[in-house]
Structure 1
Amino acid sequence: DSDLPLDLHADENMRADSSDLEHLADVVMRDSVKHQLNASHCVALSTRPESDIDRIASKVAAAGITITALPQTNLFLQQRGISTEPARAITPVQRLRHNGVVVAAGADNLQDPFNLVGRGDPLEIASLLMVSTHVTALQATQMITSDAHLAVHGEASSLSINQPANFVATPAANIRESIAMGPPDRIVVYGGVVLDNQIRNRK
């Protein structure tokens, strides 16, 4: 009734027969669901053959479902205790994006039994994405910014002339350096207003 976007935790396991995401896409298309839906985790998809991933990703894209990768929790939690070389417990970001799926990234557990580390920093998530999924710095940044906005609000966000701006500025030469260094000094602007000017390294 509130017309709020809905986030569903799907396929948070490493079973190749797990089919939450595909079932969700089938239901959305069968019933012509118009509600903004996001599926988080989706790590079981990484155990499927590439042809299966492409088939399911095409359904997800057609259904308009966004996906949020949660690398910190899933890389820590799934496959623990496996003595052989474990599969990577993260959704197949590259194949999903290749098939037109909007893939955001975030964190759902911070310093708890399911993930002992984490500080709620999107730049930390971007760094993990680059290491675990081989996306570029630009792609990782898109996943924690504009794609995350689309997953939450159901619409794209961009910087436009004469429009209120939403962004975080860091003292870095480029995006890669910002992700690599995770500088604590940040200026947060929301709706064109400076909300926080965090200067922690004053001498």
Structure 2
Amino acid sequence: MSDTITLSGATLPDGRTRDVVLRNGRISVLRGPDHPYQRAFAGLDLAGYLLLPAPAEPHVHLDRALTWQPVGSDPDGRDGAIRSWRVRPARYGLGDLRRRSREALRTLTARGVTAVRTHLDIGDGRVPLRAVEVMAELRAEFHRVLDLQIVAMPAPGTTDRTIVDAVSAGARVIGGRPRLAPDCRQETRRLLRLADRAEVALDLHLDDGFDPRMLAVGDLARLLRASGFGRPVTASHLANLNRLSPSALGRVTETIAASRMRVVALPSPRGCGLPMRALLAAGVPVAAGGDHLRDTGHPMGRADPLATAAATGLAPDRAWAAVAGHARAVLGLESGGLEPGAPADLLAVRATSLAEALRTLPEDRIVIKSGHVIARTAPTRKVRVAA
């Protein structure tokens, strides 16, 4: 397989047309279309395609993916989806979990995603770490096409030992939903302590209920500054920020920015819809994730970064940064870009501009990982006109 490939005639987000030379897994050269080549390389014609830095998925639940049809959802209250899921997992064996997760990863890859962070429930059932163990196997299986990070999400009452064992089984991040514990503050401190002990990052679901009287994200931000915790920390959801007055929101966003934690928004019908503009204005780089893929939380989840970016409501360039550069930063990866030296993780879509791509969500896509084409979708269209 050649280590050098030229992407000819690609449209960049700023409207320029360029030939992009990829060498040894990175962008080597960007040339105007009339530049004379010194030597010929293997090429890919991208005329008519928009070339973008590849997106990442910073927040998805692969253990629940594709379970809507057999599981359904309890519509009663905010936590109906959580209850629906918890009474069903025992019905699924390891083979089913592996099949659904593999299909979800293939869908994400075909849509352009080259890095994924998945949150997996642990502590429930007779095999408390089965999801982590299966996903560790799939991480090895998919390592050539995407980077897969595993977050261990302990159920209420999960012991410290089980959480630490999840790290030994393959998790590289400790997660959690502190609001489901009897004492939210105490649970936040426990998970931070365990992440420090296991020497891994922390990624928590916070403030996704309906009670804005205590903002766990503010408590976490202050705790981080006081503790000197040195590993990456991410806060996801944060729906309660929407209930704050402008002055209170300003104070909280400043506290979050000072703590240097990372934030993931989930701008889907069942996501948090947090005030991304306020956080961005405070200097907090906000990523955006899909959260659910046709499961109890959202039966229409698409696993499509274009749809996630469009749902942010931001200007096209900022929307794409949320699912690309900022999302990769949450995963601790190089931010990527379209300049010499950047990783050659790229997505080409059939569109003339980023605004058009976010509006039309074209299925015609070419996915490039480390300088090699790993997926190509070319939809077939047939239209019959009545005589």
* Equivalent position SS for 2:213: coil
Aligned twin of 1:184: 363
What does residue range 67-106 of structure 1 map to in structure 2 within 5 Å?
67-72=263-268, 74-75=270-271, 89-106=272-289
C-alpha offsets along residues 122-180 of structure 1, whole Å, 9 cap, x if unaligned?
A: 111112112xxxx1111111101101001111653333314431121101010011111
Tell me what 1:127 maps to: 310
Write the letter of the residue equivalent to 1:29.
Answer: R
Task: State the distance in 1 between where 2:365 and 2:198 align.
Answer: 34
Structure 2 distance, partners of 1:22, 1:63, is 9
CA distance in 1, matches of 2:251, 2:233: 19
C-alpha contact 1:109 1:115 (8 A) present in aligned 2: yes
Q: Distance in 1 between matches of 2:206 and 2:226?
A: 19
1:201, CA displacement in angstroms?
A: 3.1
Question: CA separation in 2, counterparts of 1:199 and 1:14?
Answer: 43
* Structure 1 or 2: more strand by fraction: 2
CA RMSD, Structure 1 to Structure 2 (Å): 1.9
- Structure 1 counterpart SS, 2:263: strand
Matched, 1:198 2:377: yes
Residue 187 to residue 154, structure 1, CA distance change in 2 (3 Å): closer
Task: Report if aligned partners of 1:21, 1:42 keep a CA contact under 8 Å in 2.
Answer: yes
Partner residue, 1:85: none
Q: Separation in 2 of the partners of 1:94 and 1:38?
A: 18
User: In structure 2, do the counterparts of structure 1 residues 27 and 175 end up closer, same or farther at CA, with 3 Å as the change threshold?
Assistant: same
Q: Secondary structure at the match of 2:347?
A: strand
What TM-score results when the alignment is normalised by the length of structure 2? 0.45
Instruction: Report SS of the residue matched to 2:211.
Output: coil
User: How much does 1:68 deviate?
Assistant: 0.6
Q: How many percent of aligned residue pairs carry the same amino acid?
A: 28
Q: TM-score, length-normalised on structure 1?
A: 0.84
Aligned counterparts of 2:299 and 2:381: Cα–Cα separation in 1: 30
Q: Distance in 1 between matches of 2:381 and 2:370?
A: 27
CA distance in 2, matches of 1:168, 1:3: 33
Letter in 2 for 1:8: L
**Which sections of structure 2, spanning at least 5 residues, go unmatched?**
1-196, 383-387
When the two structures are aligned, how many residues end up with a matched partner? 186
Give deviations 1:20-70, integer Å, cap 9, x for gaps.
110110111001111111111001011001111111111111111111111
- What is the letter of the counterpart of residue 95 of structure 1? A
Is 1:24 aligned with 2:24? no
The answer as to 2:352 corresponding to 1:167 is: no
Find the counterpart in structure 1 of residue 337 from structure 2. 158
Secondary structure of the corresponding residue to residue 200 of structure 1? coil
Give the unaligned 5+ runs of structure 1.
76-88
Q: Could you say what secondary structure the match of 2:270 adopts? A: helix
**Letter paired with 2:224:** V
1:188 Cα offset (Å): 0.8
SS in 2 for 1:71: coil
**C-alpha distance in 2, partners of 1:38/1:158?**
22
What is the identity, as a one-letter code, of the residue corresponding to 1:121? D
Q: Would you identify which runs of 4 or more consecutive aligned residues in structure 1 move more than 6 Å? A: none
